[in-house]
């Protein structure tokens, strides 16, 4: 989760999110250069002592300041498109998990295993133990093995929801009657929190998602325990 | 000054007066009150317009900050102006010259190195009202602007403080210092944001911030 007053992105937990962070840095640099140029122009024009009263038009600069932005935009568009297509690559996932949005909780089905299904509700603020994260902790976490490509199939039972976590860089809309697919991979172990990102009623802000990426042996332990408990 | 907003009244009046003209011309209660309304309406809106102009027009604001405004001019005649953009106006500043000025003008027709510095300055002031440096003098308007900004910032601050004291509910218990400290410790233990974020700033071996 973000620390208080954090304004930048959280660290990436998947290679795709790293790409997005780099792209964001690149785009912000372009914006910074343009803004500096514009600010400089504004200041010099405002503070200039002399005024040219007879300026009507100028074809040369009009051409320049049409072509130059077009070039700048290609510099932004090309990396953007590259990442867009990168996101759609299917990478031979090891595991398939179905995440279904309900009002107001998520349910997960690990269909590769028998009978591994559970619901994840938010832990209410009054039930938190000191140190837990308000509005982010869920009573069950979606456990995945680290460094394995995972296919997530996202859908909804009733109204629109959206399955989103910033650190792995996932946001998939949960649409009733439709199955949306995404693949992702956790680069390192940890707990990645996310929140529902499509307005879905009174408790839209209170249905978080917690993904826990653990080494494979621990994951296998967990699945065995969950199947036993079921 | 016709404000035009009382046309409804005027139409009514005309109708009623037209009818009454056929009967008699004495002033009855209705026409008196409507005429009073007309006048009050006209005077009232006239007053409102004058007040608005006085409070907001640029000439008034300029005059209150040292830029005196001259009388309204006939724009079809050659004008005088002081402008850095268009520095040479239609006519000389001083149109009617005294005999002393005439003498100076005659001397100007000769070689200029025979003019003293005061004479040159006097000739300049005949042709122009202000020098370039006088034209470019800043006004004191910035003080009004900055002062108004601060006043509004202060008012907003007052409102924000009042809201904090009288409106906002108590924050959740997770905002207590103790909880925040435990939360931070938990974030570090869970290695949240370990690459460039918060966990990367903590030295795990020494148990302190880097």
Q: Average pLDDT per run of 10 along chain B, which is 210 residues long?
A: 50 61 57 64 71 70 67 84 90 93 94 95 95 93 97 98 96 94 94 92 91
**Which of A4, A50, A131 is the best mutation test for B, with the most CBs of B within 10 A?**
A131
Q: Say whether pTM exceeds 0.90.
A: no
Q: What percent of chain A has pLDDT over 90?
A: 88
Report d(CA A97, CA A105) in Å as an integer.
Answer: 16
A4 in a domain, yes or no? no
Report d(CA A192, CA B192) in Å as an integer.
Answer: 8
- Based on the domain organization, do A20 and A126 belong to the same domain? no
- Based on the domain organization, do A81 and A137 belong to the same domain? no
Q: Do residues B192 and A1 touch, judged by C-beta distance below 8 A?
A: yes
* Residue B20 confidence (pLDDT): 55
* Contact between B190 and A128 using a beta-carbon 8 Å cutoff: no
Selecting from B183, B185, B195 the residue whose C-beta is nearest the C-beta of A133 gives B183
A53 in a domain, yes or no? no
State the nearest Cα–Cα gap between A132 and chain B, in angstroms.
Answer: 6
- Based on the domain organization, do A78 and A159 belong to the same domain? no
Selecting from B172, B187, B195 the residue whose C-beta is nearest the C-beta of A125 gives B172
Tell me whether 0.85 is exceeded by the ipTM.
Answer: yes
- Based on the domain organization, do A105 and A196 belong to the same domain? yes
Kindly report the backbone phi and psi dihedral angles of residue A180, in degrees, each rounded to the nearest multiple of 5, phi listed first: -100, 135
Residue where one domain finishes, among candidates A70, A88, A106: A88
Selecting from B185, B194, B198 the residue whose C-beta is nearest the C-beta of A131 gives B185
Selecting from A6, A51, A191 the residue whose C-beta is nearest the C-beta of B190 gives A191
Report d(CA A57, CA A149) in Å as an integer.
Answer: 58
Q: State the CATH number of the domain containing residue A112.
A: 2.60.40.420
Identify the band that residue A91 occupies on the pLDDT scale cut at 50, 70 and 90: confident
- Based on the domain organization, do A64 and A164 belong to the same domain? no
A5 in a domain, yes or no? no
- Based on the domain organization, do A137 and A224 belong to the same domain? yes
**Residue indicated by tokens 């002393």:** B100
Identify the band that residue A51 occupies on the pLDDT scale cut at 50, 70 and 90: confident
Q: Do residues A185 and A89 touch, judged by C-beta distance below 8 A?
A: no
Q: For residue range A138-189, what is the model confidence (pLDDT) as tens digits? A: 999 999 999 999 999 999 999 999 999 999 999 999 999 999 999 999 999 9
Q: Does A15 touch chain B (CB under 8 A)?
A: no
Which chain A residues are Cβ-neighbours of B178 within 8 angstroms?
A: 130
Selecting from A11, A51, A191 the residue whose C-beta is nearest the C-beta of B197 gives A11
Q: Does A47 touch chain B (CB under 8 A)?
A: no
Residues 6+ apart with CB under 8 A from B106: none
State the nearest Cα–Cα gap between A160 and chain B, in angstroms.
Answer: 29
Q: What percent of chain A has pLDDT over 70?
A: 100
- Based on the domain organization, do A29 and A114 belong to the same domain? no
A8 in a domain, yes or no? no
* Contact between A191 and B192 using a beta-carbon 8 Å cutoff: yes
* Contact between B197 and A10 using a beta-carbon 8 Å cutoff: yes
A9 in a domain, yes or no? no
- Based on the domain organization, do A63 and A150 belong to the same domain? no
* Residue B35 confidence (pLDDT): 66
Identify the band that residue A65 occupies on the pLDDT scale cut at 50, 70 and 90: very high
* Residue B4 confidence (pLDDT): 44
* Contact between A131 and B173 using a beta-carbon 8 Å cutoff: no
* Residue A55 confidence (pLDDT): 87
Number of domains present in the structure of chain A: 2
A52 in a domain, yes or no? no
- Based on the domain organization, do A30 and A84 belong to the same domain? yes
A7 in a domain, yes or no? no
- Give Cα separations from A58 to A44, A54, A55, A126 (angstroms): 19, 11, 8, 67
- Based on the domain organization, do A114 and A68 belong to the same domain? no
Residue A45 clears pLDDT 70, i.e. is over it: yes
- Based on the domain organization, do A193 and A83 belong to the same domain? no
Q: Do residues A138 and A210 touch, judged by C-beta distance below 8 A?
A: yes
Mean pLDDT value of segment A20-47: 96
Least Cα distance to A18 among A86, A72, A78 occurs for A86
* Contact between B194 and A190 using a beta-carbon 8 Å cutoff: yes
B91 sits in which H/E element: none
Domain that holds residue A68: 15-47+59-88
Mean of per-residue pLDDT scores for chain A: 94
Interface of B with A in 106-165 (CB under 8 A): none
Q: Which residue of B has its CA nearest to A53?
A: B85
CB burial string A27-46: b at 16+ within 10 A, e below:
eeeeeeeeeeeeeeeeeeee
Tokens standing for residue B183: 């939360």
Q: Do residues A169 and A192 touch, judged by C-beta distance below 8 A?
A: no
A25 in a domain, yes or no? yes
- Based on the domain organization, do A205 and A127 belong to the same domain? yes
Q: Which residue of B has its CA nearest to A51?
A: B85
Residue A18 clears pLDDT 60, i.e. is over it: yes
Which chain B residues are Cβ-neighbours of A49 within 8 angstroms?
A: 84
């Amino acid at each position: 989760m973000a620390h208080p007053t954090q304004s930048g992105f959280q660290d990436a937990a998947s290679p795709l999110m790293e790409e997005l962070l780099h792209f964001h840095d690149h785009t912000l640099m372009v914006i910074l250069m343009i803004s500096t140029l514009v600010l400089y122009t504004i200041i010099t024009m405002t503070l200039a002592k002399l005024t040219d009263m007879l300026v009507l038009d100028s074809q040369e600069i009009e051409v320049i300041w049409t072509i130059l932005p077009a070039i700048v935009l290609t510099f932004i568009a090309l990396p953007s498109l590259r990442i867009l297509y990168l996101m759609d690559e299917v990478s031979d996932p090891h595991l398939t998990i179905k995440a279904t949005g309900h009002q107001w909780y998520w349910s997960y089905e690990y269909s590769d295993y028998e009978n591994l299904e559970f619901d994840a509700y938010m832990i209410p603020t009054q039930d938190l133990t000191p140190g837990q994260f308000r509005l982010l902790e869920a009573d069950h976490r979606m456990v995945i093995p680290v460094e394995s490509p995972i296919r997530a199939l996202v859908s909804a039972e009733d109204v629109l929801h959206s399955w989103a976590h910033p650190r792995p860089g996932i946001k998939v809309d949960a649409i009733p009657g439709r199955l949306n697919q995404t693949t992702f991979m956790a680069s390192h172990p940890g707990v990645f929190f996310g929140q529902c990102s499509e307005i879905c009623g009174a408790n839209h802000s209170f249905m978080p998602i917690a993904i826990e990426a653990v080494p494979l042996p621990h994951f296998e332990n967990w699945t065995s325990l969950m199947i036993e408990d079921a | 000054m016709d404000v035009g907003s009382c046309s409804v009244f005027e139409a009514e009046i005309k109708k009623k007066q037209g009818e009454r003209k056929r009967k008699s011309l004495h002033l009855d209660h209705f026409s008196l009150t409507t005429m009073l309304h007309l006048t009050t309406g006209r005077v009232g809106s006239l007053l409102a317009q004058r007040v608005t102009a006085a409070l907001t027009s640029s000439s008034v604001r300029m005059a209150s900050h040292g830029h005196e405004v001259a009388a309204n001019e006939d724009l079809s005649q050659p004008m005088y102006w002081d402008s850095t953009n268009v520095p040479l106006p239609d006519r000389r500043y001083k149109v009617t010259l005294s005999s002393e000025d005439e003498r100076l003008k005659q001397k100007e027709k000769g070689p200029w190195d025979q003019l003293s510095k005061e004479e040159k300055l006097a000739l300049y002031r005949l042709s122009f009202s202000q020098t370039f440096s006088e034209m470019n003098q800043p006004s004191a308007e910035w003080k009004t602007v900055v002062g108004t900004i601060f006043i509004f910032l202060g008012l907003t601050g007052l409102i924000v403080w009042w809201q904090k004291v009288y409106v906002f509910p108590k924050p959740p218990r997770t905002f207590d210092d103790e909880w925040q400290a435990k939360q931070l410790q938990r974030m570090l233990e869970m290695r949240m944001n370990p690459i460039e974020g918060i966990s990367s700033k903590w030295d795990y071996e020494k148990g302190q911030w880097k």
